[in-house]
């Protein structure tokens, strides 16, 4: 089973926990500016996902994974992300990025 974790720099970040493993990462670029990052991850059991509000002070929320949309295949998760980049003639792209915590980049 696959889920999509979303983070927005300066607002909040969603962190994989034990039971969730990041597979692919994409930056959501809107008219040349990164607006969000999406991580497609596998999930092997119900967990509580860490969502960190990056305000001052930072607030950590533990969100049950039952509230995340789930996809049977990696292709289905990619398809859901692909729908975000098709809105008329707008300049919206998904740009492959390093997985969070990966050497040489990431968030």
Q: Residue 12 to residues 36, 79, 107: CA-CA distances in angstroms?
A: 10, 24, 12
Asked if 66 contacts 73 with a C-beta cutoff of 8 angstroms, the reply is no
pTM of the predicted protein model:
0.88
Give the per-residue pLDDT at 106: 43
CA–CA distance, 83 with 105 (Å, rounded to integer) = 26
pLDDT tens digit string along 31-72? 999 999 999 999 999 999 999 999 889 899 999 999 999 999
Domain positions in the chain: 2-97
Sign of the dihedral through C-alpha 3, 24, 51, 91: negative
Whether residue 21 contacts residue 42, with contact meaning beta carbons closer than 8 Å, is answered with yes
State phi, psi for 99 to the nearest 5 degrees: -65, 145
């Amino acid at each position: 089973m696959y889920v999509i974790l979303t983070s927005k720099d300066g607002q909040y970040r969603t962190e994989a926990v034990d039971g969730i493993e990041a597979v692919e990462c994409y930056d959501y670029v809107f008219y040349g500016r990164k607006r969000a990052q999406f991580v497609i991850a596998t999930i092997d059991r119900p967990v509580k996902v860490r969502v960190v509000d990056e305000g001052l002070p930072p607030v950590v929320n533990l969100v049950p994974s039952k509230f995340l949309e789930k996809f049977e295949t990696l292709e289905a998760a990619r398809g859901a992300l692909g729908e975000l980049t098709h809105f008329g003639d707008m300049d919206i792209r998904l740009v492959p990025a390093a997985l969070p915590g990966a050497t040489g980049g990431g968030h």
